[in-house]
C-alpha cells in the first residue's frame, strides 16, 4: 500500500485505523474503542484501556527474549565517555530507581520534575517515573532558576530528579545552584530531590531533602510496572506560548504509545534492532518522542549524544558517531547542519568516515531552508526529509512516510499530511482556502492519538489558545499554504513565538523580563533572521523619562537579565535603546513591520499606524546594529 491508500484508509475509518495500530501495544486491559468524544471538543483516545509505558518501552522486549539487545548508546564527546546499556540493564536500572521513588512516597499520578543533561540517566529517570504511573515533566538544562520555578509551581511535583551539572563547550554548568534557587523562588516545595552526581561538578546535598542517586537506590526493592488508565498523562512538557507563563502540554499514555509506535516504522522506517539517533535534547519534545520513547517502544537502539555538531571536538563529530555506531537514520534540526556547513563547507570531515550504514536524514524543529537541504543532499548523497510538527502534537503532522513510500521531495515543503491529520488552510473567517493561497494552518478535530487533549491546569487556556479562533479546528499557530498535490509549505508563526536554533521561545516572555528592568518603560522583542540560528531575538527598549545613564550599560544589564531569568538558551544578545515604538492607533506595537525592516524585506506602511515617522527612527536604530545584514 502506498501513502495515498494508507491516508484514504485512515480517512474512511479513523477508529478502525487506530484500533489496528493499537494491536502493536501490550495492554493490561485493551481498549474497547479508540475515540471517546463525550467531552468534545476535548477528545480522548483509548480512554478505557489500562497500560504502562515503561513496560512497553523496556520490559516487554526483555520478556520477548531481547534483553541482550542494546537499548541506549551513550556517546559524549564533551566528556570523552561512552557506554552501552542493554534492554535487560535498562529494566534493572529503571526498576531500581522506580523502587527508590516509590519508597519515598511517589505514587501513581504524582508529578516528578526531571532537570538533567544528556546522559542515559535522564532516560532512566523518565522511564522510572512512568514505571510507577507517575507523571514526569522534564525541564531543559539551558533554562534558568526562574523558569524552573515557574514549572515547579505549575506542576507541583512531589520530587525533583536532577543532574549535578551540564557541560557546555568551555564551561561546566552547575545545575544544583539553579535547582536550589528555583526551589527557593517557588511557592510549591517538593518533598525530596534525587541528585545524579557527575565528576565535573559534584553538588553539595541538603540533608533530609536531597538524596544521592546511587545511595537512594541501595537496598530498595525494584518496582514493578503500575498500570494506568489510557488517558492518564504520561508526561507534561512545558513549551513557549505568547506570554511568560509556559503552556503545560499534556500527553496521554495510551495514544502516545500507539502513535509513536506507528511513526517509528511508517515515518522513519526503523525496525527493532536498528540504531536511531535524534540529535536533540531530552528537554524538548523531539527528545521525549525520539530520544526516549519511540525508539524504545519499537525495540530499536537509541543514541544519547552529549555534544554539539561543531566544536566537540570538530565538525566531523556527527559523521564519526554515525559510522561508529551504525546509525540508520539521523534526526536533527537544520541549524545543526548550518553549523557544520559553516565550519566545513566542502565536507572535508565527511570524507574521513564511512556512512554506508545511514539511509536517511530527517530534519524538523524549524523551517528547513533550501540551501541547507541542497548542501546536506550533496554531501550525504542520501534522502534529506523535512517534517513538520510541534510540542503539542508530539509527532509528525506533515512528513514523507519513508516506511510506506518515499514520496517525491519538493524542497521547501515538509511534504504531506500524515494519517490522523486533516490539515486545512483557512482564511480569517475560517473558510478553507484554495491550493496555493496563504492562510492559517489548522487541523480538523479530533486530533489523532498522541497529541495534546488539554493543557495542564489550564483547560480554558487550551480552548482559548487552540480551539476558539476556528471552531471545529485545532489552530497550529503556523501560517502557510498547500499546493495542488497536497504538499504543505510552512511559512511563519502567526503569534509571538520565535524559533532560535530549533528552540521555541516566547518574545512575550522576554518582554516581560525586560519590562522588569527599572529603567525600561516600554519594550518590544522581535525575531530577526540569522544565517546560523534561523532567528535571533532583538530587543527595542524605551527608557523611563529622566534616565540618563549610558545606553550600552543599560543594554548590557538587560542582556544579563534575560540570561539570568530565562536562561542562556534564550540567546538574547541584541538590544537597542529607541525613543519610541511604532504602534497602531489602538496602541498595538507593529512588531511584524519592524521584523521586515530588520530583515531587509519589502513592507507596506500599515494603514492604522499612529506616526509613520517612528519607522524611520527604528530603521536608523537597527542600522547601528548592522540590520538589515
Ligand atoms: N544547558 C546549559 N546551557 C545551554 C544548554 C544546556 N543544556 N544548551 C544550550 N545552552 C547555552 C549555550 O551554551 C549557549 O550559551 P552561550 O550564550 O554562553 O554561548 C546558549 O545556551 C545558546 O545556545 P544555542 O542557541 O544552542 O547556541 P550554541 O552556540 O550553543 O549552539 C548549535 C548552536 C546550532 C550548534 C546548537 O543550537 C544545535 O546543535 N542545535 C541543533 C539541535 C537541537 O538541539 N535542536 C533542538 C530541537 S530539535
Ligand atoms: P516545537 O514545539 O518546539 O517543536 O516548535 C514547533 C514549531 O516549530 C512549529 O509550530 C513551527 O513553527 C516550527 N517548525 C517545526 N518543524 C518545522 C518544519 N519542518 N518546517 C517549518 N517550521 C517548523
Supply the residue whose CA is at minimum distance from atom 47 of ligand 1: 502
Residue pair 440/510 in contact by the 8 Å Cβ criterion: no
Supply the residue whose CA is at minimum distance from atom 1 of ligand 2: 390
Residue pair 250/454 in contact by the 8 Å Cβ criterion: yes
Average pLDDT over the chain reads: 97
Supply the residue whose CA is at minimum distance from atom 41 of ligand 1: 336
Indicate the length of the chain as a whole number: 629
Is the per-residue pLDDT at 601 higher than 90? yes
Kindly compute the dihedral angle of the four CA atoms of residues 390, 393, 394, 398, in this order, to the nearest 10 degrees. Answer: -70
Residue pair 387/396 in contact by the 8 Å Cβ criterion: yes
Q: Do residue 475 and residue 507 come from a single domain?
A: no
Q: Do residue 446 and residue 547 come from a single domain?
A: no
Residue 314 lies in a domain: no
**C-alpha to C-alpha distance for 466 and 461, rounded to whole angstroms:** 8
Q: Do residue 154 and residue 302 come from a single domain?
A: yes
Does the CB atom of residue 571 touch ligand 1 within 6 A?
yes
Q: Do residue 442 and residue 513 come from a single domain?
A: no
Burial 240-264 (b: 16+ CB within 10 A, else e): bbbebbbbbbbbbbbbbbbbbbbbb
Q: Do residue 505 and residue 473 come from a single domain?
A: no
Residue pair 124/94 in contact by the 8 Å Cβ criterion: yes
Nearest ligand 2 atom to the CA of 503 is 3
For the record, the C-alpha cell of 150 comes out as: 515557574
Tell me which residue has cell 489558545.
465
Is the per-residue pLDDT at 342 higher than 90? yes
Residue 205 lies in a domain: yes
Query: What's the pLDDT at 165?
Result: 98
**C-alpha to C-alpha distance for 254 and 40, rounded to whole angstroms:** 18
Q: How many CB atoms lie within 10 A of CB 439?
A: 20
Q: How many CB atoms lie within 10 A of CB 493?
A: 17
Is the per-residue pLDDT at 615 higher than 90? yes
Closest listed ligand to the CA of 366: 2
Is the per-residue pLDDT at 94 higher than 90? yes
Closest listed ligand to the CA of 560: 1
Question: If you measure from the C-alpha of residue 365 to the centroid of ligand 2, how many angstroms do you get, rounded to a whole number?
Answer: 4
Residue pair 590/614 in contact by the 8 Å Cβ criterion: no
Supply the residue whose CA is at minimum distance from atom 9 of ligand 2: 390
For the record, the C-alpha cell of 149 comes out as: 520555578
Tell me which residue has cell 515557574.
150
Query: In which band, very low, low, confident or very high, does the pLDDT at 529 lie, cut at 50, 70 and 90?
Result: very high
Query: In which band, very low, low, confident or very high, does the pLDDT at 106 lie, cut at 50, 70 and 90?
Result: very high
Is the per-residue pLDDT at 244 higher than 90? no
CA angle 22, 257, 296 (to 5 degrees): 120
pLDDT digits (tens, 9 = 90+) for 443-470: 999 999 999 999 999 999 999 999 999 9
pLDDT digits (tens, 9 = 90+) for 487-502: 999 999 998 899 999 9
Is the per-residue pLDDT at 16 higher than 90? yes
Nearest ligand 2 atom to the CA of 387 is 19
Residue 221 lies in a domain: yes
Tell me which residue has cell 525600561.
520
Does the CB atom of residue 503 touch ligand 1 within 6 A?
yes
Question: If you measure from the C-alpha of residue 82 to the centroid of ligand 2, how many angstroms do you get, rounded to a whole number?
Answer: 31
Supply the residue whose CA is at minimum distance from atom 1 of ligand 1: 142
Question: If you measure from the C-alpha of residue 281 to the centroid of ligand 1, how many angstroms do you get, rounded to a whole number?
Answer: 10
Q: Do residue 438 and residue 542 come from a single domain?
A: no
pLDDT digits (tens, 9 = 90+) for 49-93: 999 999 999 999 999 999 999 999 999 999 999 999 999 999 999
Q: Do residue 568 and residue 619 come from a single domain?
A: yes
Does the CB atom of residue 284 touch ligand 1 within 6 A?
yes
Q: Do residue 199 and residue 82 come from a single domain?
A: yes
DSSP 388-435: B--TTTSS-SEE--TTT--PPP-TT---EEPTT--EEEE-TTSPBPPT
Does the CB atom of residue 141 touch ligand 1 within 6 A?
yes
Question: If you measure from the C-alpha of residue 555 to the centroid of ligand 2, how many angstroms do you get, rounded to a whole number?
Answer: 30
Domain boundary among 480, 509, 527: 480
Q: Do residue 7 and residue 156 come from a single domain?
A: yes
- 165 phi/psi in degrees, rounded to 5: -165, 160
Question: If you measure from the C-alpha of residue 566 to the centroid of ligand 1, how many angstroms do you get, rounded to a whole number?
Answer: 14
Residue 488 lies in a domain: no
Residue pair 388/399 in contact by the 8 Å Cβ criterion: yes
- Least trusted range by pLDDT, from 12-21, 252-261, 315-324, 605-614: 605-614
Supply the residue whose CA is at minimum distance from atom 37 of ligand 1: 501
Q: How many CB atoms lie within 10 A of CB 449?
A: 28
| Residue 596 lies in domain | 501-624
Nearest ligand 2 atom to the CA of 392 is 2
Question: If you measure from the C-alpha of residue 333 to the centroid of ligand 1, how many angstroms do you get, rounded to a whole number?
Answer: 12
**C-alpha to C-alpha distance for 335 and 332, rounded to whole angstroms:** 8
Nearest ligand 1 atom to the CA of 563 is 17
Query: In which band, very low, low, confident or very high, does the pLDDT at 241 lie, cut at 50, 70 and 90?
Result: confident
Residue 317 lies in a domain: no
**C-alpha to C-alpha distance for 401 and 439, rounded to whole angstroms:** 25
Cβ < 6 A, ligand 2 pocket: 239, 285, 364-368, 386-388, 390-391, 414, 476-478, 490, 493, 499, 504
Residue 329 lies in a domain: no
Ligand 2 pocket mutation pick from 283, 335, 367, 370 by most atoms within 8 angstroms of CB: 367
CATH number, domain with residue 142 = 3.40.50.12780
Tell me which residue has cell 534529506.
384
Is the per-residue pLDDT at 607 higher than 90? no
Query: In which band, very low, low, confident or very high, does the pLDDT at 411 lie, cut at 50, 70 and 90?
Result: very high
Does the CB atom of residue 246 touch ligand 1 within 6 A?
no
Is the per-residue pLDDT at 565 higher than 90? yes
Q: Which among 271, 219, 224 has a CA at the least distance from the CA of 91? A: 224
Strands 275-278 and 360-363, by their bridges, are unpaired
Is the per-residue pLDDT at 254 higher than 90? yes
Supply the residue whose CA is at minimum distance from atom 22 of ligand 1: 569
Query: In which band, very low, low, confident or very high, does the pLDDT at 553 lie, cut at 50, 70 and 90?
Result: very high
Alpha helices in 39-110 (DSSP H): 53-54, 60-61, 87-103
For the record, the C-alpha cell of 380 comes out as: 550525504
Domain boundary among 419, 451, 480: 480
Q: Does the N-terminal peptide bond of residue 428 adopt cis geometry, omega within 30 degrees of 0?
A: no
Does the CB atom of residue 505 touch ligand 1 within 6 A?
no
Domain boundary among 411, 445, 480: 480
Q: Do residue 120 and residue 229 come from a single domain?
A: yes
Q: Which among 234, 305, 300, 303 has a CA at the least distance from the CA of 264? A: 300
Closest listed ligand to the CA of 534: 1
Query: What's the pLDDT at 453?
Result: 98
Nearest ligand 2 atom to the CA of 285 is 4
DSSP 345-375: TT-TTGGGS--TT--EEEE-SS---HHHHHH
Residue pair 589/583 in contact by the 8 Å Cβ criterion: yes
Q: How many domains does the chain have?
A: 2
Question: If you measure from the C-alpha of residue 348 to the centroid of ligand 2, how many angstroms do you get, rounded to a whole number?
Answer: 30
CATH number, domain with residue 528 = 3.30.300.30
**C-alpha to C-alpha distance for 59 and 62, rounded to whole angstroms:** 5
Query: In which band, very low, low, confident or very high, does the pLDDT at 593 lie, cut at 50, 70 and 90?
Result: very high
pLDDT digits (tens, 9 = 90+) for 355-400: 999 999 999 999 999 999 999 999 999 999 999 999 999 999 999 9
Angle 14-22/3-12 helices, nearest 10 degrees? 110
Query: What's the pLDDT at 13?
Result: 98
Q: Do residue 453 and residue 599 come from a single domain?
A: no
**C-alpha to C-alpha distance for 37 and 39, rounded to whole angstroms:** 6
Residue 538 lies in a domain: yes
Q: Do residue 150 and residue 110 come from a single domain?
A: yes
Residue percentage of the chain with pLDDT more than 70: 100
In the DSSP assignment, the letter for residue 87 is: H
**C-alpha to C-alpha distance for 465 and 39, rounded to whole angstroms:** 18
Closest listed ligand to the CA of 573: 1
Nearest ligand 1 atom to the CA of 331 is 48
Residue 599 lies in a domain: yes
Does the CB atom of residue 335 touch ligand 1 within 6 A?
yes
pLDDT digits (tens, 9 = 90+) for 320-339: 999 999 999 999 999 999 99
For the record, the C-alpha cell of 257 comes out as: 504509545
Amino acid at each position: 500500500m502506498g501513502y495515498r491508500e494508507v491516508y484514504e484508509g485512515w480517512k474512511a475509518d479513523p477508529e478502525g485505523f487506530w484500533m489496528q495500530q493499537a494491536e502493536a501495544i501490550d495492554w493490561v486491559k485493551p481498549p474497547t474503542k479508540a475515540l471517546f468524544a463525550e467531552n468534545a471538543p476535548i477528545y480522548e483516545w483509548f480512554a478505557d484501556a489500562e497500560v504502562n509505558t515503561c513496560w512497553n518501552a523496556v520490559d516487554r522486549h526483555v520478556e520477548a527474549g531481547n534483553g541482550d539487545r542494546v537499548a541506549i548508546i551513550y556517546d559524549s564527546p564533551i566528556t570523552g565517555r561512552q557506554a552501552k546499556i542493554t534492554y535487560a540493564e535498562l529494566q534493572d536500572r529503571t526498576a531500581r530507581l522506580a523502587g527508590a521513588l516509590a519508597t519515598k512516597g511517589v505514587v501513581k499520578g504524582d508529578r516528578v520534575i526531571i532537570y538533567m543533561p544528556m546522559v542515559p540517566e535522564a532516560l532512566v529517570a523518565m522511564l522510572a517515573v512512568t514505571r510507577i504511573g507517575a507523571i514526569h515533566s522534564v525541564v531543559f538544562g539551558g533554562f534558568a532558576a526562574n523558569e524552573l520555578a515557574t514549572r515547579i509551581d505549575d506542576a507541583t511535583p512531589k520530587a525533583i530528579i536532577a543532574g549535578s551539572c551540564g557541560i557546555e563547550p568551555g564551561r561546566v554548568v552547575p545545575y544544583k545552584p539553579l535547582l536550589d534557587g528555583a526551589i527557593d523562588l517557588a511557592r510549591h516545595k517538593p518533598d525530596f530531590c534525587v541528585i545524579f552526581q557527575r565528576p565535573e561538578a559534584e553538588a553539595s546535598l541538603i540533608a533530609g531533602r536531597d538524596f544521592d542517586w546511587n545511595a537512594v537506590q541501595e537496598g530498595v526493592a525494584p518496582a514493578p510496572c503500575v498500570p494506568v488508565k489510557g488517558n492518564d498523562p504520561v508526561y507534561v512538557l512545558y513549551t513557549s506560548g505568547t506570554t511568560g507563563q509556559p503552556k503545560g502540554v499534556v500527553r496521554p499514555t495510551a495514544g502516545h504509545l500507539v502513535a509513536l509506535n506507528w511513526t517509528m516504522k511508517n515515518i522513519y522506517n526503523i525496525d527493532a534492532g536498528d540504531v536511531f539517533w535524534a540529535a536533540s535534547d531530552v528537554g524538548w519534545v523531539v527528545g521525549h518522542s525520539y530520544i526516549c520513547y519511540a525508539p524504545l517502544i519499537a525495540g530499536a537502539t537509541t543514541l544519547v549524544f552529549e555534544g554539539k555538531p561543531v566544536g566537540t571536538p570538530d565538525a566531523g563529530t556527527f559523521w564519526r558517531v554515525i559510522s561508529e555506531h551504525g546509525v540508520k537514520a539521523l534526526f536533527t534540526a537544520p541549524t545543526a547542519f548550518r553549523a557544520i556547513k559553516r565550519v566545513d563547507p566542502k565536507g572535508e570531515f565527511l570524507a574521513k568516515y564511512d556512512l554506508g550504514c545511514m539511509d536517511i536524514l530527517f530534519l524538523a524543529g524549524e523551517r528547513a531552508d533550501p540551501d541547507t537541504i541542497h548542501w546536506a543532499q550533496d554531501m550525504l548523497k542520501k534522502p534529506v526529509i523535512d517534517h513538520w510538527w510541534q510540542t503539542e502534537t508530539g509527532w509528525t503532522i506533515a512528513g514523507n512516510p519513508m516506511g510506506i513510500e518515499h514520496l517525491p521531495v519538493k524542497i521547501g515543503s515538509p511534504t504531506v499530511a500524515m494519517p490522523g491529520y486533516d490539515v486545512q488552510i483557512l482564511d480569517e473567517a475560517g473558510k478553507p482556502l484554495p491550493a496555493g493561497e496563504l492562510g492559517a494552518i489548522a487541523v480538523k478535530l479530533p486530533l489523532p492519538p498522541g497529541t495534546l487533549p488539554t493543557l495542564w491546569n489550564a483547560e480554558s487556556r487550551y480552548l482559548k489558545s487552540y480551539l476558539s479562533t476556528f471552531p471545529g479546528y485545532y489552530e497550529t499557530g503556523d501560517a502557510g499554504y498547500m499546493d495542488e498535490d497536497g504538499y504543505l509549505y510552512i511559512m511563519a508563526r502567526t503569534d509571538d513565538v520565535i524559533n532560535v536554533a530549533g528552540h521555541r521561545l516566547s518574545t512575550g516572555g522576554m518582554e516581560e523580563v525586560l519590562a522588569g528592568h527599572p529603567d525600561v518603560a516600554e519594550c518590544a522583542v522581535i525575531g530577526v533572521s540569522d544565517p546560523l540560528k534561523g532567528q535571533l531575538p532583538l530587543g527595542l527598549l524605551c527608557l523611563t523619562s529622566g534616565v540618563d545613564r549610558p545606553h550600552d550599560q543599560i543594554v548590557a544589564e538587560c542582556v544579563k537579565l534575560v540570561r539570568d531569568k530565562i536562561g542562556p538558551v534564550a540567546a538574547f544578545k541584541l538590544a537597542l535603546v529607541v525613543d519610541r515604538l511604532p504602534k497602531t492607533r489602538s496602541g498595538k506595537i507593529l512588531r511584524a513591520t519592524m521584523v521586515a525592516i530588520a530583515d531587509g524585506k519589502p513592507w507596506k506602511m500599515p494603514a492604522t499606524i499612529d506616526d509613520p515617522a517612528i519607522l524611520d527612527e527604528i530603521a536608523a536604530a537597527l542600522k547601528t546594529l548592522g540590520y538589515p545584514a
